[in-house]
Structure 1
């Protein structure tokens, strides 16, 4: 599967069933359908999804990845970033994170932050390629395992070179 078969676009509440299914596959059921509905209708929440061309991959549900951030003052707090396990390690997380950061920039956010499981080295590596830096830890943040959450931060979303940096993350 190539990236030329995918599109990134805002997700509507009409697609909530697909998102809940994807949430279960990616996160084990992090949020309920009511939580997603509430977030998708909140003007401060921004959801983007990666969809695959159904004519080329008819067995998929269409949406194979999604992400969300909350706009809080001038900060984009990334709350979710997940790609269907079948489509991981194909550049879709990179595509989606770049789109989230670009959207944050377009609505005047100055910086972005997130938390990630300390054991999720693949995600940490991705975030670092986009200029995120570790700024702290939340001890035993994840209730299901007692694992620490790593707090990461990235500034400069309004810098003139931001678009170039997002489109060409550090390898």
Structure 2
């Protein structure tokens, strides 16, 4: 059985964070950039760690910036061998819960128009396209600007709780036990 631990990232995790970034994004942020995020009171960085017979490893992370009453989701990454199991969903739920705990009203993000899997995930949570940024990414791809409102509504909290139950059941069927501290 693999145990998954969702917890806030720390400076001690920097080597693993940078390696995950290199694998998932091709060096999107530097170690100094991640250090700034970890030290910023306006950033939340949940990490997802897997513990199995090989030890403990960082398998996913997310990041949000609290700007006024908005959560700007800047990163969501899961290592390739761990994708398509619901772990991106787990991290997104953690980010949205964090936004709610901070009293933020809305969430926004940019996602490549070509990243259909990520777009589908965000849309399942109620994100809707509000615009596009032409040639936003270094490879020339456009970005969709997505927004989600109503994070403070009681109905949204109920949705988060329902999504948690569904996901925990799914992960349990796959033989994964979740330990959450975020």
TM-score (norm 1): 0.91
Are 1:142 and 2:140 counterparts? no
Q: Please, which of 32, 35, 44 is the counterpart of residue 33 of structure 2?
A: 35
Q: Please, which of 82, 85, 94 is the counterpart of residue 90 of structure 1?
A: 85
The one-character-per-residue Cα deviations of 1:30-80 (angstroms, maximum 9, x if unpaired) are 001111111111111110011112xx2416x52100000000001000000
Q: Please, which of 128, 147, 150 is the counterpart of residue 153 of structure 1?
A: 147
Q: Which has the higher contact order (CA 8 A, sep 6+)?
A: 2
Aligned residue pairs, count: 164
The CA distance in 2 between the partners of 1:168 and 1:140, in whole Å, is 37
Which residue number corresponds to residue 10 of structure 1?
Answer: 8
Q: Please, which of 150, 156, 160 is the counterpart of residue 162 of structure 1?
A: 156
Q: Please, which of 97, 117, 120 is the counterpart of residue 115 of structure 2?
A: 120
Structure 1's 119 and 167: CA in aligned 2 closer, same or farther, altered over 3 A?
Answer: farther
Secondary structure of the 1:102 match is helix
Superposed structure 1 runs of 4+ greater than 2 Å apart? 166-169
Contact preservation (8 Å) 1:130, 1:166: no
The CA distance in 1 between the partners of 2:80 and 2:113, in whole Å, is 19
Question: Higher helix share goes to which structure?
Answer: 2
Are 1:22 and 2:9 counterparts? no
Q: Structure 2: where are the runs of 5+ without partners? A: 164-182
Which residue number corresponds to residue 46 of structure 2?
Answer: 48
Structure 1's 109 and 115: CA in aligned 2 closer, same or farther, altered over 3 A?
Answer: same
Which residue number corresponds to residue 68 of structure 1?
Answer: 63
TM-score (norm 2): 0.86
1:168 to partner: Cα distance = 3.7
Contact preservation (8 Å) 1:98, 1:167: no
Cα root mean square deviation, aligned: 1.5
1:166 to partner: Cα distance = 2.4
Are 1:101 and 2:112 counterparts? no
Q: Structure 1: where are the runs of 5+ without partners? A: none
The one-character-per-residue Cα deviations of 1:120-142 (angstroms, maximum 9, x if unpaired) are 00000000001100110000000
